[in-house]
Amino acid sequence: MKRVYLDYSATTPLEPKVLEAMTPYFTEMFGNANSMHSFGQEGAYAVDESRRKIAELLNVKPTEIYFTSGGTEADNWALKGGASAYKGKGKHIITSKIEHAAILSSCAQLEQEGYRVTYLPVDKGGIVHPEYLEQAIDDETSIVSIMLANNEIGSIQPIKELAAIAHRRGAIFHTDAVQAMGSIPVDIADLGVDMMSFSGHKFYGPKGIGVLYIKGGIKPDKLIAGGHQERTRRGGTTNVPAVVGISKALELALNHLDENYRHVKAVRDHFVSEVERRIPHVIYNGDREKRLPQNANFAFEFIEGESLLLRLDLSGIACSSGSACSSGSLEPSHVLLATGLPVERAHGSIRFSFGKNTTMEDVDYVLDCLCKTVNDLRNLSPLYAEFTHNGGKL
């Protein structure tokens, strides 16, 4: 059976050149990068070189790059470490309603510890407007964390404007760039952020490795206490193969950013226009313009997203209802609800995310299966029967 993977926002396959770069560090160069001997020094050298390469690619200093176990840890560190280090200014945190669980759960924990958290709303397209931040920020706000691009609907936020507002009021600014990095241009200096999280497995690198960029002078408290790794700010034996892997993956992603962007956007745009042409009663969730090239998210009226997802899986097609982290929960997506989508439409929503290996033939196969499956499910739906019986009125 043909299999088509349209869940690149959940994770991407490892690029063969990345595996090749990593392999020696699993086998002959296995030393602990903190050991003094030559085995350790080979690892330490690889880590230094990887840090230097990432810094150069992002136009920041190597001392501003910290390796973590992934995007989740980087987000936890930025938020909890930042809130605790800067609580002298005040215990008010601002974030948005559409953040990833790594941020929202950290905020919930901080609320338990007596912090006040404001969750900014978004517009219909999933955009946080700078005015919303202007209205919410006060003298006690110490940290603002708004994602660069959303994982469910791909909406891209006006980070430069938001960071400038935070700075004017003396707060530090963190952005979760996990979905954006390697997919759209990200200029840290131009955005003006103090901290930024990203994760290797979203741009054809390994899982279990991420980066927190921390601007010189910004000092979030430690999240992981331990040895003296990461210049004493993050304990734990360095995962040398993964560090080598994320730097190689970032290099490839950024060196091929334009061509990958064009390809991914072309297959996504073809998919979106065909879905809208061939399937009635669909809603394209998210902003049409300010959007990641890999993301399409549709609400199919009168059907449950999960039923559609499972039927497509039987045809070899992988996509997602909500984010990978919340699948398994039958709660409607907090992101779609924040955009004002009613619960039943949020339940009928599916995310398709495209990648550099997706072909037009793959998309055409998915379109045929999708049209048929939506039709079959609607024919089983009492709501749809009522709708057609009433001459197209609910």
Nearer to ligand PLP among residue 71 and residue 245 (C-beta): 71
Q: Which residue, among 263, 334, 341, 313, has the nearest Cα to 119 in the 3D structure?
A: 334
Alpha helices by DSSP H, the chain: 16-22, 38-58, 71-76, 82-85, 101-112, 130-136, 159-168, 188-191, 240-255, 257-278, 305-314, 334-338, 343-347, 360-379, 382-389
Verify binding: residue 183, ligand PLP, rule CB under 6 A. Answer: no
User: Which lies closer to ligand PLP via its Cβ, residue 42 or residue 194?
Assistant: 194
C-alpha to C-alpha distances, 328 to 306, 324, 331, nearest whole angstrom: 10, 8, 9
Q: What is the per-residue binding string for ligand PLP in 120-139, x denoting contact by CB under 6 A? A: --------------------
Q: Does 70 bind ligand PLP (CB under 6 A)?
A: yes
206 sits near ligand PLP (criterion: CB under 6 A):
no
Question: Can you read off the two tokens belonging to residue 205?
Answer: 């690198």
Residues sharing a CB contact under 8 Å with residue 248, sequence separation 6 or more, in sequence order: 15, 17, 18, 21, 22, 50, 205
Give the chain's length: 394
Instruction: Considering only the stretches 77-85, 121-129, 174-182, 226-234, report the one whose residues sit in contact with ligand PLP under the rule CB under 6 A.
Output: 174-182
Residue nearest to ligand PLP (CB): 71
Among 100, 233, 291, 311, binds ligand PLP (CB under 6 A): 100
| Separation CA 97–CA 368 (nearest Å) | 35
Q: How many residues at the interface with ligand PLP, by CB under 6 A?
A: 16
Burial class (CB within 10 angstroms; exposed 0-12, middle 13-18, buried 19+) of 113: exposed
Residue 178 in the binding site for ligand PLP (CB under 6 A): yes
Provide the β-strand partners of residue 120: 96
The residue within the footprint of ligand PLP, chosen from 95, 106, 151, 183 (CB under 6 A), is: 151
Residues between 313 and 372 that touch ligand PLP (CB under 6 A): 323-325
Sole binder of ligand PLP in the list 81, 210, 293, 305 (CB under 6 A): 210
CA dihedral 36, 40, 41, 46 (to 10 degrees): -150
Q: Which of 29, 54, 67, 71 binds ligand PLP (CB under 6 A)?
A: 71
* 3-class state of residue 43 by DSSP: helix
* Complex with ligand PLP: residue 260 or 320, whichever CB lies closer: 320
Contact window for ligand PLP (CB under 6 A) among 68-76, 116-124, 350-358, 380-388: 68-76
State which residue, 205 or 305, has the beta carbon closest to ligand PLP: 205
Nearer to ligand PLP by Cβ, of 210 and 322: the residue is 210
Residue 8, token pair as written in the block: 């690149």
Q: Which of 21, 33, 60, 102 binds ligand PLP (CB under 6 A)?
A: 102
Provide the annotated active-site residues.
325
User: Minimal distance in Å, beta carbon 179 to ligand PLP?
Assistant: 5
Using CB under 6 A as the binding rule, whether residue 293 contacts ligand PLP is answered as no
Q: In what order do the strands lie in the sheet with 92-96?
A: 65-68, 210-214, 195-199, 172-176, 141-145, 92-96, 116-120
Of residues 7, 42, 64, 176, which one binds ligand PLP by CB under 6 A?
Answer: 176
Least Å distance, CB 151 to ligand PLP, is: 3
Q: Coil, strand or helix: which one is 117? A: strand
- Cβ atoms of 198 and 74 within 8 Å: the answer is yes
* C-beta closer to ligand PLP: residue 34 or 327: 327
Residue 356 or residue 378: which is nearer to ligand PLP going by CB? Answer: 356
Distance CA 349, CA 347 (A): 6
Of positions 12, 44, 66, 72, contacts ligand PLP by CB under 6 A: 72
The site for ligand PLP (CB under 6 A) is made up of 70-72, 75, 100, 102, 147, 151, 176, 178-179, 199, 210, 323-325
